[in-house]
């Protein structure tokens, strides 16, 4: 019996029971679709985050208070108060960090902004005037802060586009006053629509001088971050060491193992993000792949039912000369065709859904989220689907091939 004839016979067998064939591959379709979705969206998220980190610039170094978290239980160690004004003064001395071109302290938290009878809960971001250059976002209405605003504890605020629309509607916001914790702040600038960037959504942020944020909004003397920009990318490693030494001296730390702060560079951040997203994507893909196992069991059950229903057909074929190998190969081929078809449909469906979700995310959330076709996921999906058909179709195929032609022809 030729391969072409066996293939044709298998197709005829599957087409005879279209509804059963469609239901059989459903589990495979769902599993492959889920894997494609997870891999595509995971890679899209990774690309988005990495591009945002890269856009900050390779010369940027961040000092974070607390111990560097090494697991989920260490996350709260990041919310420490170890970075103080004396540390900022020490880092600002050129002799301590000679290659530091810019230094910006950061404080942040969440508070409500009020205008008239309307309120909006926003992220309050206390910084200096250099935030615009570091994050490449400048007010498209009004102005940025200046050094005098920071030194004078100015009650000036720059608001995101969503805050403007929520609080002011169609009314002109520039120059108006909003209340934060009962204190009037004058709107001096409005940011263009930018969406999520790094850990901030600039559409929902209110930026004030860090001195004002510390004194009047949060009432605290410590900082949440120090951002240091080196003069050149080549001097980043030296600047990192200088920042560490300066902070250790300021905190009277002699043992590096007792550091109450840690340093992050953009390269380290990208590596960390890449590792986390890859692990998370693979974990979710493995969870989605469980449905393939369920689909494989379903295929085995359906094929066993098919073998029972087609007992007389098997007996007739063996009576006119078909060997056990011929029957085995036919039923195995039917199983592989079903799963491969399910894999192909799953890839098409998963790709279409991924592209649609990426489009929605980019439009609705104003994110630079590009669609990514996971070629490795597609190849893996087809391979796993075919292997599933092979593994779970083997037992029913063997059961069919072992049937006695005499007993099979007597079957009612």
Tens digit of each residue's pLDDT (9 = 90 or more) over 112-153: 999 988 899 999 999 999 888 888 888 999 999 888 999 999
pLDDT bracket for residue 74 (50, 70, 90): very low
pLDDT at 27 over 60: yes
Q: Is residue 64 part of a domain?
A: no
pLDDT at 73: 46
Q: Is residue 61 part of a domain?
A: no
pLDDT bracket for residue 50 (50, 70, 90): low
Q: Are residues 209 and 128 in the same domain?
A: yes
pLDDT at 372 over 50: yes
pLDDT bracket for residue 358 (50, 70, 90): confident
pLDDT bracket for residue 58 (50, 70, 90): confident
Which of 210, 231, 259 delimits the end of a domain? Answer: 259
pLDDT bracket for residue 167 (50, 70, 90): very high
pLDDT at 169: 84
Which of 259, 291, 324 delimits the end of a domain? Answer: 259
Q: Is residue 205 part of a domain?
A: yes
Q: Are residues 280 and 254 in the same domain?
A: no
Q: Are residues 224 and 252 in the same domain?
A: yes
Q: Are residues 223 and 283 in the same domain?
A: no
Q: Is 302 exposed, middle or buried (0-12, 13-18, 19+ CB in 10 A)?
A: buried
Q: Is residue 339 part of a domain?
A: yes
Q: Is residue 65 part of a domain?
A: no
Number of domains in the chain: 2
pLDDT at 78 over 60: no
pLDDT at 210 over 90: yes
Q: Are 43 and 374 contacting, i.e. CB atoms less than 8 angstroms apart?
A: yes
Mean pLDDT score across all residues of the chain: 78
Which of 193, 228, 259 delimits the end of a domain? Answer: 259
Q: Are residues 240 and 276 in the same domain?
A: no
Q: Are residues 107 and 138 in the same domain?
A: yes
Q: Are residues 255 and 309 in the same domain?
A: no
pLDDT bracket for residue 2 (50, 70, 90): low
Q: Are residues 88 and 232 in the same domain?
A: yes
Q: Is residue 290 part of a domain?
A: yes
Range of the domain at 328: 3-53+271-410
Q: Are residues 276 and 355 in the same domain?
A: yes
Q: Is residue 33 part of a domain?
A: yes
State what percent of residues in the chain have pLDDT above 70.
66
pLDDT at 235: 87
pLDDT at 279: 72
Cross-strand bridge partners of residue 265: 61
Q: Are residues 27 and 160 in the same domain?
A: no
Q: Are residues 142 and 246 in the same domain?
A: yes
Q: Are residues 313 and 190 in the same domain?
A: no
Q: Is residue 247 part of a domain?
A: yes
């Amino acid at each position: 019996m030729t391969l072409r004839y066996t293939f044709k016979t298998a197709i005829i067998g599957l087409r005879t029971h279209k509804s059963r064939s469609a239901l059989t591959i459903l589990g495979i379709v769902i599993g492959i679709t889920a894997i494609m979705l997870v891999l595509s969206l995971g890679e899209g998220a990774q690309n988005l985050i990495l591009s945002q980190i890269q856009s900050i610039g390779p010369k940027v170094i961040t000092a974070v208070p607390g111990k560097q978290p090494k697991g989920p239980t260490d996350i709260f160690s990041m919310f420490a108060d170890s970075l103080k004004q004396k540390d900022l003064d020490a880092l600002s001395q050129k002799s301590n960090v000679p290659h530091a071109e810019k230094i910006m302290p950061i404080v942040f938290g969440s508070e409500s902004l009020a205008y008239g009878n309307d309120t909006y809960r926003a992220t309050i971001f206390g910084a200096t005037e250099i935030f615009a250059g570091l994050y490449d976002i400048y007010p498209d209405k009004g102005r940025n802060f200046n050094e005098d605003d920071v030194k004078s504890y100015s009650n000036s605020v720059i608001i995101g586009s969503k805050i403007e629309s929520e609080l002011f509607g169609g009314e002109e916001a520039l120059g108006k006053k909003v209340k934060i914790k009962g204190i009037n702040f004058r709107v001096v600038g409005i940011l263009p629509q930018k969406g999520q960037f790094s850990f901030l959504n600039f559409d929902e942020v209110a930026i004030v001088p860090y001195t004002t944020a510390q004194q009047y909004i949060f009432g605290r003397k410590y900082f949440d971050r120090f951002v240091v920009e080196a003069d050149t990318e080549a001097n980043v490693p030296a600047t990192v060491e200088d920042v560490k030494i300066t902070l250790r001296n300021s905190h009277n730390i002699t043992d590096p193992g007792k550091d109450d702060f840690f340093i992050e560079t953009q390269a380290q951040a990208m590596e960390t993000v890449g590792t986390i997203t890859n692990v998370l994507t693979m974990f979710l893909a493995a969870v989605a792949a469980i449905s393939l196992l369920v689909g494989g069991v379903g295929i085995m059950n359906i094929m066993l039912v098919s073998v029972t229903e087609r007992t007389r057909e098997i007996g007739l074929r063996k009576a006119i000369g078909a060997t056990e190998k011929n029957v085995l190969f036919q039923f195995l081929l039917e199983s592989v065709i079903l799963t491969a078809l399910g894999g192909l449909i799953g890839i098409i469906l998963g790709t279409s859904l991924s592209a649609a979700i990426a489009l929605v995310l980019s439009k609705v959330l104003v994110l630079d989220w590009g669609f990514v076709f996971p070629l490795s996921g597609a190849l893996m999906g087809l391979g796993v689907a075919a292997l599933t058909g092979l593994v779970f179709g083997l037992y029913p195929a063997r059961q069919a091939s072992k049937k006695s032609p005499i007993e099979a022809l007597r079957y009612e």
